A and B are shown apart, each in its own frame.
Chain A
Amino acid sequence: MHEAVAVNPWAALAYLVAGVCFILALRGLSSPASSRRGNRLGMAGMALAVGTTLVTHLFSSNIVVDARQVTGGLQVNAGALGEIFVAILIGAVIGITTAQRIKMTDMPQLVAAFHSLVGLAAVLVAVAAFANPGAFGILDAATGHIEPVSRIEMGLGIAIGAITFSGSVIAFLKLNGNMSGKPILLPARHVINLGILAAILLLIAYFVTDDATAVFAAITVLSFVIGFLLIVPIGGADMPVVVSMLNSYSGWAAAAMGFTLHNTAMIITGALVGSSGAILSYIMCKAMNRSFISVIAGGFGAVAGPSGGESIDRPWKRGSAEDAAFLMGQAEQVIIVPGYGMAVAQAQHALREMGDLLKKQGVRVKYAIHPVAGRMPGHMNVLLAEANVPYDDVFELEDINGEFAQTDVAFVIGANDVTNPAAKTDKTSPIYGMPVLDVEKAKTVLFIKRSMGGVGYAGVDNEVFYMDNTMMLLADAKKTVEEIVKAMG
């Protein structure tokens, strides 16, 4: 099909090896012990892919072996090599300084920002391929136009890339607090969104018959718009799904460009990243008992739940840091349940100190993590790891939920919806059916929260606040934990 560009078998092999390195990089993440080796393999795979591309595209040989004489030699396109080197250097400096400076609590924003860069890079590559199809080996020599198959691939690539870019920018602004986390609802948004999506698909189909610049530009612009419209109505609590979904999109964009370039490394990587993001989205949706469609449709958490209003008058117990220190000091086992509030207050280091003091007093301390606690999958685990909490003290929902009944104190810090028993009993609750941590089964629940007024993202009141065995500690999470630590010492 593509006689114009002869595929160098060694280059093809190198790309395949790079793809396998990426598979092993993800495989390494099955346990923290093997994870760093995996990450190194990922780096090696990337170096191999970049190196192979540079060698095959910047070096050319015109060596001719004729009878007994060898003429010609190896040529380097030194100018282009220099420019590319500078481009990589700029990117490396920005990337590495960002990676070193970023606070662990800001990881969701960083990942969203990185996704937007992949999306934009995919768009730029697709436009470059459109402007110079010969260089990409997708020019049909007979007609002088881009090959029809490649047009579909490019169309899909640029559409997914553009959606990834504008969607990730919105996700970043919401996560970073530059834009309200509340869902913004446009009238008739479903009709508009479906209409634009249909238009994009029709344009890609039309692009096969007519590779005019205008068609290509229209696909790009509409895709930017739909990415923006899709993410704007989605509220803060659904961000773990959105971030995972955009992760998936960035993979599919890479895969589509891999099809255009017939590049194994890109196709394997795209498929890996695409499935990874899709699986994470699925896990997050499941952990909220919501369908993917309802998350994407957006609007969750826009209106306060029906039980939100009457809560103010109900009796509840206030506790002090001294009470909390005493109760936990007497306990045999304490389970700590962290949530997004812990991240906001940066309380993880104080929390670990508290845990260490308790352990010294002979108390068993465990951490229970709900899959959607925080703003991205695994967010709480990273924060606890940052605070030096050993990872074998940290448990997932299904592994620890049975233990609350035999636990003396459940210490809930900055989490709310994920502990709400209404999810198990109240069919009218918007979070009904969501798996929750059974904190109310513990002998005592200590609930750290900024105020009684604020409800979780789902906008529903939590029965646990008003139970006889619950003690509310209303203050900043970090300050409260520090006071408890002081009271213990």
Chain B
Amino acid sequence: MTIRRSTGSGEHGARVRRARPARTAPLRTWPGALRQPDSWQPDGPLATASGTGAESRRANGAIDGVKLGYSVIEEHMRHAESVERQYRSKRAKEPIGGGPDLQNTVARVFRSVADLVPIVGQIINSAGAAGFNQTVALGSPLAVGNHTGRGGFLEANSAVEIELSSPQPVKATLELRPGAERLMLVTTGLYAPGIAKPVVKGLEFAKAAKGKKASLRIRVPRMSAGAICSGLLLERESGEPQGVLTIRVAK
């Protein structure tokens, strides 16, 4: 790599030559960077350099394990999807109630009765409401999904008031552990898969106080259709996870 550096003295910039980088490709043998790759014993000596000679070994007929691994696993997942599609198509052709389906029957019977999650709320802001604030308390007609408790986890009136602001239709799902609405919660932001920086940062949580519900204010920026991001709600003092907040943008 050549960089022309200006000296600022009217002279022509001197040409500075940097040494060629030791590595220009991903380091696939990263554990080998910690010790000799042929150190058969796990407590073998540490390597002093990161050059592990993987490429020269590959030239001797070895395969690219990562590439091969991905081809195997992606084929496996494609096959599983195809089997699943066939299964769903077969099920769709069955007459309703035509066969015993214990799982679904039991699920239907008990769905509204029990769920471990003490507070689960989903808010879906409609297309018409997009761009406007919506304030919804769990338990209101707009709250979709189970928010019933089990074993006394959920008090009849306990709720989290959510104020959702988004320029497009989104669905917010909040799940909290028992009693978490009475804690001081913080979040490090909501993240989308594969993106290092938080996508949603504007979150404010106020814990429940006497005669006052806990509230959560979310400002969602514009995101691509179908995007999803989620994040943990942590107790400020201990850092213990207390719940999950998920935002889904309508497709």
Partners in one complex: no
Interface residues of B (CB under 8 A from A): none
